[in-house]
Structure formats: C-alpha cells, structure tokens
Structure 1
Amino acid sequence: MYEQQTLSKKDRKTDKSLIVFRLCKLYDQLNTPYFKKKYAGKPTKIYQRLMEQIRFYENILIKTG
C-alpha cells in the first residue's frame, strides 16, 4: 500500500510538496494562449473555477507557513 493511500482525502489535498506543483499547473492553464477570462463582460466559469482552486491552495500555503 502506498503512503498516499493511507492519508485522508483532505490530508492528500494539503500535502505541501504537491501544492506548489498544483499551483504551477493552475497558473499554466490560466496563461495558455487564447484562454478567455471574460465573455460579454462576465468572468467565464472555467476562469472562476481556476481562481477558486488557486485561492484554496494559496490559503493552505499561507496557513502552513
């Protein structure tokens, strides 16, 4: 059994070694060519979802130091 399998889902999400990697992937998705942040003056659903995930992971990094 792998070490990650023994952790709870919440603990796996908050593993510091993976948070930085996940943040990099999220920022890469935001910076892809032709990515639309807004359509008709409103933020797109994909953009909102990415920003929500980025805020979540950044808050974890701030709380854990």
Structure 2
Amino acid sequence: MFRTYHRLKEGELHAWYLYPSCWIKGTITVRDKTFHWEARPGNTLFTDWPDGIDKMLGGKHSDNPAGE
C-alpha cells in the first residue's frame, strides 16, 4: 500500500483536505519496530514509517498496490 503514495509538497495538502473526516488506522511492524498509519478518504495517508517521524502522504488509488 505504501508504494502507491508520495510525500505531499507544500500547497498540495489543501487539495486533499476537502474530503470527509472518516478514516481507518493501524500499525505495521517492520524488523521489530512498530509504526503507525492512518488512511483517510481522498487517498491521504499519515504515517511515521520508516523513520519514526510523522508525515503525510498522498496517492492515487490502486487496485494492485504491488504495481504489477
């Protein structure tokens, strides 16, 4: 799923925030470290993966997250 997102640039955030404020959230564990994620409508993703620093990502919908 993370492959379909990119780090939002300054000015892009406004375009994504026009969507309803419902979301799903969870955790992911990679190499014994646990990270948090939260996905919202409009293809935004908040996460602290992979470096523990909070960031907001935006992406296009993909039925095939592997990109194949």
TM-score by length of 1: 0.26
**Between structures 1 and 2, the one with greater helix share:** 1
**Between structures 1 and 2, the one with greater strand share:** 2
TM-score by length of 2: 0.25
Q: Bigger radius of gyration, 1 or 2?
A: 1
